[in-house]
Structure 1
Amino acid sequence: MSAKMGYDSGDFLKSLGFPEIRVHQSNGHFDFTKSGRRILVIGPMGSGKTEYSAKIWRDARVTLEKSDIVAELTRTGVADRRNVFFVRSALDEKRFEEYPEDALAYRGGYERLGNNIAKISNSFDLEQLLADFPQMGTWIIDEASFFDERMAYVIKYASESKGLVFVYPTLILNFRRDIFNSTARLLIETATDVYPLTAYCEHADCIQDSFYTYRYYSVAGQECPALYFDPLIIIGGDMKKEDPREPNYCTRCDHHHFLPGKVYTYFTLKPLGEEAAKGNTDPLMKELKLLTNDIRESELYKSVLAEQEDGFSHSQVIMNALKVPCLAEKALLYLFVEENLISSDLFRTFVMELNLDREYLMNRLSDNGRTIRW
């Protein structure tokens, strides 16, 4: 009996002899009849964002076997929303090296998409794909936050003008628990639907829901949290890494998501960068030198020590953040790449005078689309 007549689903199940139980919304099949949607699928790594995409692909395989009557419901112009196309970033190839070229890969498996998959670099590439494949009605843009801001409006225009559906499983929060970037913010603003997913916290002693991506390094087998000013964009695979210069990722709850150094970043590091931008480079040079050669005398050490004395739990794990190599390099990259306080010439000067790790710097600059002539 319908809810309009006074019964809810719990009452109906009870009438069939079920005990009194909590009834949840079912996870139904994808609705290909609704046009013009922009569906944001958010959650930390391991929450099933890409598997959600794979389910859409599998549902499409079933509905394509239906009659022409169904096709009339799922088509706008030449585009049929049962035709699904999967798009990923050309910068993220390392994540999928072990899979076939046409694989939509997720934890625990993959789907082979044949010609219905492509790698792109920017929103202009997406526009070209839309022109090349006009029959595709549902577009899944993997990690859409990694693309330029224009992407949000390319998606909005195409969905509204052509009835296309876009699904973008993506991280909205970065490891700092901030909105990932301006693209992520625009995707939120222009979305018509949002599906939030969670994962188990990956701390060994916890089984709480997790919403956050946690970045850490492994140094001599110890968990070392990334500091707040760690480079925001680091391109690499999802495999566990023991190289202390390369980060690992997992998902954590509030209690086990450690992020030391935020106070230092805004209270000390950024003001030092602002002073350097005005021509007074000595204070920043002194701090970077201490980060390289005598960490215990640095302002960073004092700040992180104060954090754990102010009631932070897991104090030793927090202090482990200072065991990660290339701290001066990371601080300098933050001021140069993200805050734009350091000029290219000044960047080179610091690197040469402090004899910083150029290989590490070059890799991180490349990740962020920046170059330096030495």
Structure 2
Amino acid sequence: MPRIEERDKLPDDFLKSLGFPSITVHQTFTHFDFTLPGRRVLVIGPMGSGKTEFSARVWRDAAIAQKKSDVIRRLTSTNGVDRRKVFFVRSEIDGQRFQEYPGDALAYRNGYIRCGENIARIRDSFGLEQVLADNPEIGTFIIDEASFFDERIAYVVRNHSLERGILFIFPTLILNFRRDIFNSTARLMLDIATDVIPLTAYCEHPDCMKDAFYTYRYYRVDGQECPALYFDPLIIVGGDTQKDDPLNPNYCSRCDEHHYLPAKEYTFFHLKPLGERASRGDAGPLRDEMYALKHHISESALYQHMDQRYGSRPDAEIFMNAIKPGCLAEKALIYLFCEQNLLAEDLLVRLVYELELDRVYMTKVLSDNLRPVSFEQPLLTVVD
């Protein structure tokens, strides 16, 4: 098990007596331990911290361990499964992220390893159960980005680890770009974990080398960095390549100082109350704000909030850039519909047509967030 152990420090005079200079000796990560059954290991950190690369190291360690004798096999086996045999599981939605790699690749930044037949893409926890049933001799399953799956997956892995001694490794985001717990699945993964391995990265701001704990979402518009607003859709499926696109975000690792997250106060002080009023039958104020976001941004409550909140700050420009990406009204409605469950589908469709919103964008992002809605034809209005 990779870990840093606290050990008694050798006195400087002892090291000097052996001819060593006065130096600080750090314990580093060891090879992975496949002997302990039933562990559920969370590997957490922001995007770019090396979570999937950690998985590749486990894969390589397993390949070495499999060359050992039957003495080792007995140490790494429980109930007919051998934890030196590793299987890699990814989400079906990752197909868009790794199109340039072979189909059996465990891909990470700047590299990949080939998994052969020991890799699968699944849609949900039922797909994982099928993979487990089809591979009864495998003792270690690496489930990439487990937080993207349904909550049931936490109990599937817990039961198999307890009953069969299977080792599960979860390189996954626990915090989303808002620095909130990603979702209820992420919370359950924390509940069932037996081990947690936190990873950090350098802050990717060009003027900083602090530890980064957070994933930062931003857009590039005309070459400018535009932070995602707090109510930006939780999930937007896309590739890992850098994009200069007002509708497709980029991600990097950032420290506290350089993780910009505008409009959190607006979201709870203005946007959500508008959604609550709409859910009670008074959709007019919400419609007015969405119209302003789409057609006259400077007249919106969002713009007024941003100007008052950030306008006098030295870094005002970076915060105000957040309103440059498109589809602000679309994103606000997706937030209220998908995450707050405040808007009925018929109201959502009606607003989309009345305000002439981007139906293609909304169809894709709603599907990414597992709340598909059809905008092929507007709702009919009954006339007496």
The TM-score range, normalised by the shorter chain, is over 0.9
Quote the residue 1:307 is aligned against.
309
Q: Is the 8 A contact 1:141 1:168 kept in 2?
A: yes
User: Contact between 1:10 and 1:22, CA under 8 Å: does it hold in 2?
Assistant: no
Match of 1:168 in 2: 170
* 1:339 corresponds to: 340
1:92-171 alignment runs, 5 A limit:
92-171=94-173
How big is the shift at 1:19?
2.2
Check the 8 A contact 2:363/2:374 in 1, yes or no: no
Q: Deviations over 1:309-335 (max 9, x none)?
A: 475x52100000011111011111111
1:285 is aligned, of 284, 287, 290, to 287
1:251-262 aligned at under 5 Å gives the runs: 251-262=253-264
Query: Deviation at 1:373?
Result: 3.1
Deviation >6 Å, runs of 4+: 9-12
Q: Aligned-pair distance for 1:365?
A: 1.0
Aligned match of 1:209? 211
- The corresponding residue for 1:227 is 229
- Contact 2:105-2:115 within 8 A present in 1 as well: yes
Taking the aligned partners of 1:85 and 1:10, their CA distance within structure 2 comes to: 46
Indicate conservation of the 8 Å contact 1:273/1:342, yes or no: yes
Residue by residue over 1:283-320, the C-alpha shift from the partner in whole angstroms, topping out at 9 and shown as x without a partner, is 11111111111111111011112221475x52100000
Q: Distance in 2 between matches of 1:272 and 1:100?
A: 47
The equivalent of 2:351 in structure 1 is 350
Offset of residue 242 of structure 1: 1.2
Q: Do the aligned partners of 2:367 and 2:373 also contact (CA within 8 Å) in 1?
A: no
Picking from 39, 46, 67, the partner of 1:37 is 39
Supply the distance in 2 between the matched residues of 1:78 and 1:301 (Cα, whole angstroms): 62
Q: TM-score, normalised by structure 1?
A: 0.96
User: Which residue does 1:372 correspond to in 2?
Assistant: 373
SS of 1:187 mapped into structure 2: helix
- What residue ranges of structure 1 are gaps of 5+ in the alignment? none
The 3-state SS of whatever aligns with 1:96 is coil
Alpha carbons of 1:355 and 1:207: their partners in 2 closer, same or farther (altered >3 Å)?
Answer: same
State the match for 1:27 in structure 2: 29
Q: Give the aligned partner of residue 86 of structure 2.
A: 84
Counterparts of 1:112 and 1:6, CA distance in 2: 41
TM-score after normalising by structure 2: 0.93
Structure 1 distance, partners of 2:317, 2:289, is 23
For residues 6 and 26 of structure 1, do their structure 2 counterparts lie closer, same or farther at Cα, with a shift above 3 Å needed?
closer
Q: Counterpart in 1 of 2:185?
A: 183
Determine the C-alpha separation between the residues in 2 that align with 1:352 and 1:6: 69
Query: SS at the partner of 2:106?
Result: strand
Letter in 2 for 1:357: D
Distance change (3 Å), C-alpha of 1:16 and 1:110? farther
Identity of aligned residues (%): 61
Contact 1:235 1:367 in 2 (8 A): yes
* Equivalent position SS for 2:97: helix
Report the CA distance between 1:8 and its aligned residue: 4.1
* Residues 260 and 307 in structure 1, CA contact (< 8 A), matched pair in contact too: no
Provide, for residues 44-70 of structure 1, a one-character-per-residue CA deviation record: whole Å limited to 9, x for no partner: 111110010000010011111111111
Report deviation, 1:370.
Answer: 2.0
Name the CA shift for 1:7/1:326 in 2 (closer, same or farther; >3 Å). closer
Helix, strand or coil at the partner of 2:19? coil
1:193 and 2:195 correspond: yes
Aligned length: 370
Name the residue aligned to 2:271: 269
Q: CA 1:309/1:373 → structure 2, altered by over 3 Å: closer, same or farther?
A: closer
Distance 2:61 2:19 in 1: 32
In structure 2, the partner of 1:245 is 247
8 Å contact kept, 1:10–1:23: no
Counterpart of 1:95, as a letter, is: R
Looking at structure 2, the residues matched to 93 and 11 of structure 1 have their Cα atoms a distance apart, in angstroms, of 57
Aligned partners of 1:55 and 1:68: how far apart in 2?
23
Q: 1:93 Cα shift? A: 0.9
What is the CA-CA distance between 1:23 and the residue it aligns to?
2.3
AA at the equivalent of 1:135: E
Cα distance per residue 1:267-294 (max 9 Å; x no partner): 0000000001111111111111111111
Aligned-pair CA distance for 1:22: 2.3
CA RMSD of aligned residues (A): 1.7
Give the superposition deviation at 1:95. 1.1
